[in-house]
Amino acid sequence: MRLLSSRSFFTQKLLPFKGNTLLRRTITALTLAMFVLLMATSTARGATIIYVDASASGGDTGLNWTDAYPNLQDALAAAASGDEIWVADGVYYPDEGGGMTNDDRTMTFTLIDGVGLYGGFAGGETSLSQRDWGTNVTVLSGDIDQNDTTDSDGVVTDVANIVGSNAYHVVTGGGTNSSAVLDGFTITAGVADGSSHDGWGGGMINDNSSPTLTNLTFSCNQGSSAGGMVNYYSNPTLTNVIFTGSRSGGYGGGMRNNSSSPTLINVTFLDNQALNGGGVWNHESSPTLINVTFSGNKATLDGGGMLNSSGSSTLTNVTFSGNQASMRGGGIYNHSSSVNVMNMTNGIFWNNQAGIEGYQIYNAFGSTPQISYSDIQGSGGSTSWDTALGIDLGFNIDANPLFVTPVDPATAPTAAGDLHLQNGSPAVDTGLTLGCPSTDLDGNTRPIDGDLDGVADCDMGAYEKLIDLFLPLVMR
């Protein structure tokens, strides 16, 4: 039906009734009411919730939990900007759903601008706040032929358990902006071993994409280059994300960044491995890292935790420990002529290992990172600074941070260890409070007065030391 403009409607429809004022006003009022109703319907459509539950057996319409779509791809096909997709616990494969090709490795879950994709539901919830992604594990799996060995939730926990055919990329950014949301999922068993971009990012590939990624775990994904995620000319924001058990035959076991500036807040890189950059590899990229840990990662060449090749990384309250490089840069390898290749405040680099040199930080080709308020093993602290580490901007220390359970770098890749601080740690209340994040990696408030001197100062590292409370023993 063709809608008339307000002027044409008045000319063609109302003028014949100009002698009847009451009738003309009635028609005008009805017209306005119809217009408001149409606009309200359009607005409501923009806030549609689409339901997905792998165990649903209802009408397969996605209109409610009873009639939820059993396949996530069907919900994505029905979604438009403004919609939310609520997904119940279970395992979802990218080759299942209308229009998908069974066992086709190019099948992937593609994000959409303006669409929020939320996991962690049990089914039956009526608000986002009711979901629990830790309990209701919602899995996006690249195991399209469904023959990998998994845990009880359908998650691959060791890349050795991946067999047969797997999707090249479990999730694809799809050229989206920050209005595309992925929240509350475990992404597992992607194998990017194809040609060109199909060799990058088994878990997720972002090509000119900058989605919002929250409350995610990337577990045991593989790639010829980049196991967990690749960002190519992309600037996603990651919050509360874990990269674990991923492997890359080239660059970036957990993440590879090319000409990208992602923001990482409360992110963990654990038990990943690559040729270079066991946890992360950055090339001509400028990532921002806040409350991030690198633990038990391994590079068979350089950069056990991270490798920076050009660009400028900003690190605030990061912890690197238990990482290993067979050659140089157990914690970080900087390969650049830039004085701003890395700017770090409130960092901890302790007990990393390198086969040749640069156990904590190795700088090549004139790289000169700027470091302040950080605890770096072997640095001498600001009082006797080792200039090979970069530029000392003051307040650096060289003292055992007293982790709860230190990680042995010789065992990397490994998921062992606990990098929380013990009582008496020299990293407590010795960081820079100006610019200190408002919470730590666990979500606890920071800064707090950890040394009980009456002043709340920021701790070094990703975790703020909580105050131990001792209740008096009352004898009766």
Residue 7 belongs to some domain of the structure:
no
Same domain, 347 and 378: yes
In a domain, 97, yes or no: yes
Asked if residue 472 belongs to a domain, the reply is no
Choose the final residue of a domain: 218, 249, 280: 249
Residues 326, 425 share a domain: yes
Looking at residue 475, what is its pLDDT? 57
Number of H helices, E strands in the chain: 3, 34
Of 323, 292, 349, nearest to 407 (Cα)? 323
Q: Please, what's the largest Cα pairwise distance for the chain?
A: 97
Question: Can you give the pLDDT at residue 340?
Answer: 74
Q: Is the pLDDT of residue 22 over 90?
A: no
Q: Does residue 141 sit in the same domain as residue 228?
A: yes
Do 242 and 156 fall within a single domain? yes
Instruction: Give the residue with greater pLDDT, 48 vs 339.
Output: 48
Range of the domain at 381: 251-467
Per-residue confidence (pLDDT) for residue 69, from 0 to 100: 98
61/71 Cα distance (integer angstroms): 11
Tell me how far apart the alpha carbons of residues 201 and 186 are, in angstroms, rounded to a whole number. 15
Q: What is the pLDDT of residue 6?
A: 37
Closest residue by Cα to residue 152 from 242, 89, 221: 89
One domain for residues 78 and 200: yes
User: In sequence order, which ranges of 392-432 are alpha helices (DSSP H)?
Assistant: none
Instruction: Report the SS3 class of residue 38.
Output: helix
DSSP label at 197?
G
- Angle made by CA atoms 180, 258, 216, in degrees to the nearest 5: 40
At residue 95, φ and ψ (nearest 5 deg) are -95, 10
Asked if residue 474 belongs to a domain, the reply is: no
d(CA 404, CA 458): 19
In a domain, 2, yes or no: no
Assess whether the previous peptide bond of 447 is cis (omega < 30° from 0): yes
Query: Could you tell me the pLDDT band of residue 476, with boundaries at 50, 70 and 90?
Result: low
Q: Going by C-beta distance under 8 Å and a sequence separation of 6 or more, which residues neighbour residue 119?
A: 87, 89, 131, 133, 136, 138, 183, 184, 185
Going by C-beta distance under 8 Å and a sequence separation of 6 or more, which residues neighbour residue 273? 246, 247, 248, 253, 297, 298, 299, 300, 412, 413
Nearest CA-CA partner of 3 in 34, 41, 45: 34
Asked whether residue 19 carries a pLDDT value surpassing 70, the answer given is no
Give, in order, the Cα–Cα distances in Å from 55 to each of 66, 92, 137, 308: 10, 11, 14, 45
User: DSSP label at 17?
Assistant: G
Q: Is the distance from CB of 376 to CB of 358 less than 8 angstroms? A: no
Looking at the fold, whether 242 and 279 belong to one and the same domain comes out as no
In a domain, 9, yes or no: no
4 falls within a domain: no
| pLDDT single digits (tens) 213-244 | 999 999 999 999 999 999 999 999 999 999 99
Distance of alpha carbon 459 from alpha carbon 397, whole angstroms? 13
Mean pLDDT, to the nearest integer, of 58-78? 97
Q: How confident is the model at residue 100 (pLDDT cuts 50, 70, 90)?
A: very high
Residue 151 forms part of a structural domain: yes
Whole-number Å distance between alpha carbons of 453 and 39: 60
CA–CA gap between residue 435 and residue 422 (Å, rounded): 24
Say how many domains are in the chain: 3
pLDDT, tens digit, for every residue of 340-359? 789 999 999 999 999 999 99
Are residue 217 and residue 324 in the same domain, yes or no? Answer: no
Please, what is the end-to-end C-alpha distance for the chain in angstroms?
Answer: 85
The span from the CA of 128 to the CA of 126, in Å, is 7
Cβ-contact 238, 263 below 8 angstroms: yes
Residues 28 and 41 in one domain: yes
In this structure, are 180 and 73 located in the same domain? yes
Which pTM value belongs to this model? Answer: 0.89
401-438 pLDDT, tens digit per residue, is 999 999 999 999 999 999 999 999 999 999 999 999 99
Tell me which residue of 45, 162, 173 sits closest to 113, measured CA to CA.
173
Tell me the per-residue pLDDT of 246-298, one tens digit each, with 9 for 90 and over.
999 999 999 999 999 999 999 999 999 999 999 999 999 999 999 999 999 99
Nearest by Cα to 335 from 294, 312, 365: 365
Please tell me whether residues 315 and 226 are part of one structural domain.
Answer: no
Please count the CA atoms within 13 angstroms of the CA of 309 that sit on its side-chain side: 14
Same domain, 336 and 441: yes
Choose one of 249, 284, 314: the last residue of a domain: 249
Burial 99-115 (b: 16+ CB within 10 A, else e): ebeeeebebbbbbbeeb
**Which of 249, 264, 293 is a domain's end point?**
249
Quote the pLDDT of residue 123. Answer: 97
Residues 316 and 212 in one domain: no
